[in-house]
Structure 1
Amino acid sequence: MELVDWIISQGGSLNDCVRVAQDASRGVHIQVKGDWPQPISKETKVLSTPIGATMSYFNAVGFQTPDATFSKHGVELPQAFIDAVAVEETSTFFLMGQFLRGSQGFWYTYLRTLPQPGELNTPLFFGEEDVDWIQGTGIPEAAVQRYQVWDERYEQCMAKLEEVGFEGIEEYTCVVEASRLAEDSGVSVLLPLIDLPNHRPLAKVEWRAGSSDIGMVVLEDVGPGHEISNNYGPRNNEQLLMNYGFCLPNNPTDYRIIKLGVKPDSHLSKAKTRQIEMFPEVANDKEDHYYIFNVFYPLLGPDTAMEHSIFSPALFNSLTIMHANERERKQIEITESAISIPAAYGNGHSKLAALSQISFELISHIMMLEATGQDRQLQPTNLKQTFAQIYRNGLLTLDKAALVIATWTLARAREHTRGESWEDIKTLLNEHMSQIPEGHFPAETLSRIRVRILERESLLKKNGELFRLGELFGLLPAEMQAASRECFNHVLAQAGQQVPSLQTDPQALFSLVLCLLVATGRSSHARPQLSSRLTRWVDFLVEQYPLSAVPSGTSETMGQLIQFVQSEQAQAWAVQDGVHWLSDDCGWLDSNWLAWAFTVAEAEMVLIPHEPLQVLATENPGLPKLGCLYVPQE
């Protein structure tokens, strides 16, 4: 291979144990020779590139050190241009200049091995039919934004070159994609030969720079005939496709970047501002770290919570703050590494609300991907379409597996009959997983979903903290439940005739039941018979939401209900319905307590997706929501 001969002539090396190979599936790659007598051992330097054969900004400026000289090799960019533009632009125009030198250029042999103009597979060079394969993903928008940035920078650079009278400027009209870039001290460096091996996530290799060369060293034993892969780092498929023009089926380090669209005056934005005030160095990190990981993602700490193993802590914590109620937001903890709502009694509401919002987003994204990909049953006709299909399929699998895990925690929160023993959890999990259509996931993915759920501790320790309307009566002792239901239904039937909207207003309905439960908890006659869970919850709500602080305004439905109760003296119906334990001062159907209950119901409700896994089995299932009231366990 000419590249190898050129590198060796410049002082580089290719270990005798390896060779350059090529086949249809892997293209050009490096492998251990098939007839090599034994596996090569770790710490073996398999190839090296001399410092003088690398190309970087240092060459563009002719940088020199006592040990090395970085030659310009015939491309002289004006110093005024170099001073006026960024390092990246200088490096790019230097690369373009070397490309334009053709066979006269020092790097000619190497540049011929890079994708040539017209052969580039990144989305910026997709044709109209190719773009159809990535509709519904974030790539078209990202590609347009990147192209606009490149185009703007290119025009600025060309204007500067024209201003300084650079000769041959008319030739700098092509864009040469440096598809394999290494980051070294913040300077992009092209590394001939070292950039030849294919990328494999988690490949155990290391680049080691010496005074005269950069070597690629394997950190694991590699057997005869096996490929030696490079490692670009834990890149997801979007990064690989956008930056290098390929992506990987079943990429273990795949993840989806989430954009939350946080408003400047939101609670989260204010908390971030406060964090920067407390820890100024945080401002240097420009990335939000909002990710949804695939279930095989390997770079997790051993103590990472189950939810955080799929939804990055930054994403999950931010969503808890965005969807927390006011009482939870008062407890926000700000440290240098995180902004979060601490684990405490009553704070599971924000976690369940965050999981619910994540589930809705996942369902929406799955539906969009499937809707925009429904015509993609055809086989890809080129590499661009092949990689786009791999990328889209990877997103769908990632989203669907994440949805199973997010809704698992919501399913636990809806479970009021089983305990929390290992057998109970396995039974509940089997029921949850049975909603997945047969064959929808590969067996390995199903197994990994189970592993994520069973082997990592959940952020929510207890089951049964979300209640539908009728389930709330189960918090009462068995002997009180029937009478309480009868009393509620009596009020509902009579009031519903005067206030028709009551039947379809979940907040108002929850307010009625909540008013009854709190009145029972405040009744000196009933309280000794109640569970500690119910009395602690009632006391907690009364403390957190003082009656005196309740806003005067309510919804039209609640206003009409309060008027009805007052005119009909509906409080008196409790005794005739068998609810004899309510005293006159306990607050049952009192207008102030009804308004209080309405405020509390709004704050403590969580809207969760109804039958969320239907998106795996049904085309366009919609996004029906189910209102639940949060009641913490002790």
Structure 2
Amino acid sequence: MESSTEQGSGHSLHAHTELVEWITRHGGSLDDSVRVAQDASRGVHIQVKGDWSQPISKETRVLRTPLGVTMSYFNAIGYESSQGSFSKHGVELPQAFIEAVAVEETCTFFLMGQFLRGQEGFWYPYLRTLPQPGELNTPLFFGEEDVDWIQGTGIPEASVQRYEVWDQRYEECISKLEEVGFEGFEEYTWDLYLWASTIISSRAFSPKVLSGVIEASKLAEDSGVSVLLPLIDLPNHRPLAKVEWRAGSSDISMVVLEEVSPGEEISNNYGPRNNEQLLMNYGFCLPNNPTDYRIVKLGVKPDSPLSKAKDRQIEMFPQVANNSDDHYYIFNVFYPLLAPDTAMEHSMFSPALFNSLTVMHANERERRHIEITETSISIPTAYGNGHSTLAALSQISFELIAHIMMLEATGQNRQLQPANLKQTYAQIYRNGQLTLDKAALVVATWTLARAREHNRGESWEDIKILLNEHMAQIPEGHFSAETLSRIRVRILERESLLKKNGELFRLGELFSLLPANMQEASRNCFNHVLAKAGQLVPALQTDPQAMFSLVVCLLVATGQSPQARPQLSPRLTRWVDFLVEQYPPLGFPLGTSETMVQLNQLVQGEQAQAWAVQDGMYWLSEGSGWLDSKLLAWAFNVVEAEMVLTPHEPLQVLVTENPGLPRLGCLYVPQE
């Protein structure tokens, strides 16, 4: 094995130049227009020569790696065919071991064996240019002080899970090597296994790069085969770089699909990786990563409506059972891989996440119409179903506020300067998470803010004024100018799932649904009941559901009154009819609410129905059902189903270090 001095020298430009010479001797090449370069910010990388006369064009094959220098499972088993052969190059793993362990572990132990060969190994010119054991920056290699920088994020849990999986696999493998009497198995240490596993997870390519010489049946994505490609794995990652790897019968090529100017770096593209994936798998993060997103875990209970709907989906479409990824994501505002017609809310919260939350927080009325297809489970768009959308946005907002508070509370080192590269990347990751969460909160609460606006127009100018007011709550300098611009673009250029403003009402706002000439008398009557009841049932004035029930009882009685109905707006009459249709008043019990039981006893004992006429509500006679025990019980259950608990002043989390999570009860009343 190499000394530390020798290992460190592998990161030099000289070592990479020798790698290129080695590749060339075996039939590979660099295009004449490119060279290997090195600088402090990008390390060793590939770039177009500075003195090249013109940009290199699309379809230029910039790198070419011969099949003979690739490393994969097929080398470990010494695969041979008429189309090509793959040599073991001196590492002979026992056949009994290969048959007993997974393909991934065969690849890992083969790489370990090649590393142990040191300078005698065939792949030495390649392996010496890789990060050596002790030089990797993924979280499994973080020290105690480094771990402090990622507390409160998803990284520690993910690291523990990976460590446990790899530890179990290593113990099984090393036990098997010992069992079959493999000489020198003691050199295959846990530290070397961690290194080899990390190298493969961070640098290996899809087995499809070998499709030019190996039959497709052996190259399935779930086959466990991974391929190391010396030289082609050298370029740095750049999100959205336009490149392609092409499999041939004698080599694999990296082809650029965009023009690159003289002196510019030629980048690889690992795919739309978020910073958590980059840190976990590759040991680095990108500041302002445009493809950043956060994975959300919902914790769905087995007997929940969503879990039952998923079971039903599998019954209808058995192939869905093979899809293990739920795609529950919160996107960065710069995330570019969105269809043009993606709804504004879905552009921030993946459709799978948003639809799942609507199902989880829908009421029974909405869930009766749940739509299940092969690709989604959702509450369909229909009159009255905006409740689930607003409930989902409220829950998302609470989660975002809680996560922001946790990141802030656990980021005690954020005022310190990172002491090493691990801490630098951890800081980039944490800061990216905070910016992502805060921008997503601004977008989520924008729709909730619209739902609270009852007296504003919905023209383009009205929306822009309302948006300016919403964003004025963001402290100056909290976001970069570019981020603020992207938030505005995301809101203004994409259509919201909710087409109308003003569908959430606080208690006193519900009276505005009545004609102006009925509002004062209705408020007086409500206050009359509240004052009388408050003397004997003090809990009523601190029980939002009970107070909302009184107002709903009043509005429904009014909506069913022959005298009042001709004067009411179409919105109110449609809503009243909708509630009566969806919640048939068939003996709803008062339930366990002590407040409602006491209130019912009070109003029945004092014949409170007569208060309506006394207070000027001439359209409600004693036979109208106003404050009838059955109607009260019915209204109580309706309110329980139709209420939405929204965050109160949610953007205070951008101003105050620990604003808490105060909730505001609102009743959902759909627009026409």
| TM-score (structure 2 length as normaliser) | 0.94
Match of 1:120 in 2: 136
SS at match of 2:413: coil
Match of 1:346 in 2: 384
How far apart are the structure 2 equivalents of 1:554 and 1:480? 33
Match of 1:68 in 2: 84
Q: In structure 1, what residue type is equivalent to 2:204?
A: L
* Contact 2:333/2:436 (<8 A) preserved: yes
Match of 1:534 in 2: 572
Match of 1:514 in 2: 552
Match of 1:369 in 2: 407
Aligned counterparts, 1:437-586, within 5 A: 437-548=475-586, 550-586=588-624
SS at match of 1:96: helix
How far apart are the structure 2 equivalents of 1:18 and 1:454? 43
Q: In structure 1, what residue type is equivalent to 2:345?
A: E
* Contact 1:554/1:598 (<8 A) preserved: no
- Cα deviation digits, residues 457-505 of structure 1 (max 9, x gap): 0001110000000000000000000000000000001101111111111
Say whether residues 1:135 and 2:151 are aligned partners: yes
Task: Give 1:549 shift.
Answer: 5.3
Aligned counterparts, 1:583-602, within 5 A: 583-602=621-640
Match of 1:156 in 2: 172
Q: How many residues align?
A: 634
Task: Give 1:552 shift.
Answer: 4.8
Q: In structure 1, what residue type is equivalent to 2:176?
A: K
Say whether residues 1:397 and 2:441 are aligned partners: no
Query: What percentage of aligned pairs have identical amino acids?
Result: 83
Task: Give 1:163 shift.
Answer: 1.2
* Contact 1:554/1:595 (<8 A) preserved: no
- Cα deviation digits, residues 137-191 of structure 1 (max 9, x gap): 0101110110011000000011111111111110000222313121224321111
Unaligned segments of structure 1, at least 5 residues: none
Of residues 349, 358, 361 in structure 2, which corresponds to 1:311? 349
Task: Give 1:419 shift.
Answer: 1.3
Say whether residues 1:181 and 2:204 are aligned partners: yes
Task: Give 1:426 shift.
Answer: 0.5
Aligned counterparts, 1:86-485, within 5 A: 86-173=102-189, 174-175=192-193, 176=195, 177-178=198-199, 179-184=202-207, 185=219, 186=221, 187-485=225-523
How far apart are the structure 2 equivalents of 1:47 and 1:229? 12
How far apart are the structure 1 equivalents of 2:271 and 2:561? 63
Of residues 612, 624, 628 in structure 1, which corresponds to 2:666? 628
How far apart are the structure 2 equivalents of 1:501 and 1:543? 31
Of residues 62, 68, 74 in structure 2, which corresponds to 1:58? 74
Task: Give 1:284 shift.
Answer: 1.0
Q: In structure 1, what residue type is equivalent to 2:153?
A: T
How far apart are the structure 2 equivalents of 1:403 and 1:603? 25
Structural RMSD (CA)? 0.8
Q: In structure 2, what residue type is equivalent to 1:530?
A: L
- Cα deviation digits, residues 50-70 of structure 1 (max 9, x gap): 011111111111112212111
- Cα deviation digits, residues 555-591 of structure 1 (max 9, x gap): 1111111111111111111111111100233221001
SS at match of 1:308: coil
- Cα deviation digits, residues 262-317 of structure 1 (max 9, x gap): 00111000100110111111111100000000000011111100000000000000
How far apart are the structure 2 equivalents of 1:88 and 1:293? 31
How far apart are the structure 2 equivalents of 1:549 and 1:325? 20
Q: In structure 2, what residue type is equivalent to 1:277?
A: E
Query: After alignment, is 374-383 or 106-115 more displaced?
Result: 374-383
Match of 2:214 in 1: none
How far apart are the structure 1 equivalents of 2:523 and 2:409? 44
How far apart are the structure 2 equivalents of 1:438 and 1:181? 44
* Contact 2:587/2:630 (<8 A) preserved: no
Q: In structure 2, what residue type is equivalent to 1:523?
A: S
Q: In structure 2, what residue type is equivalent to 1:182?
A: F
Unaligned segments of structure 2, at least 5 residues: 1-16, 208-218
Task: Give 1:550 shift.
Answer: 2.1
Task: Give 1:551 shift.
Answer: 3.6
Match of 2:647 in 1: 609
Q: In structure 2, what residue type is equivalent to 1:321?
A: V
How far apart are the structure 1 equivalents of 2:661 and 2:346? 25
- Cα deviation digits, residues 193-246 of structure 1 (max 9, x gap): 000000000000100110000000000010000000000000000000000000
How far apart are the structure 2 equivalents of 1:104 and 1:374? 48
Cα 1:344–1:549 change in 2 (3 A) is farther
How far apart are the structure 2 equivalents of 1:581 and 1:228? 78
SS at match of 2:227: strand
Cα 1:552–1:473 change in 2 (3 A) is closer
How far apart are the structure 2 equivalents of 1:26 and 1:551? 70
How far apart are the structure 1 equivalents of 2:639 and 2:534? 19
* Contact 2:558/2:564 (<8 A) preserved: yes
Task: Give 1:411 shift.
Answer: 0.4
Cα 1:317–1:549 change in 2 (3 A) is farther
| TM-score (structure 1 length as normaliser) | 0.99
How far apart are the structure 2 equivalents of 1:35 and 1:356? 57
Match of 1:20 in 2: 36
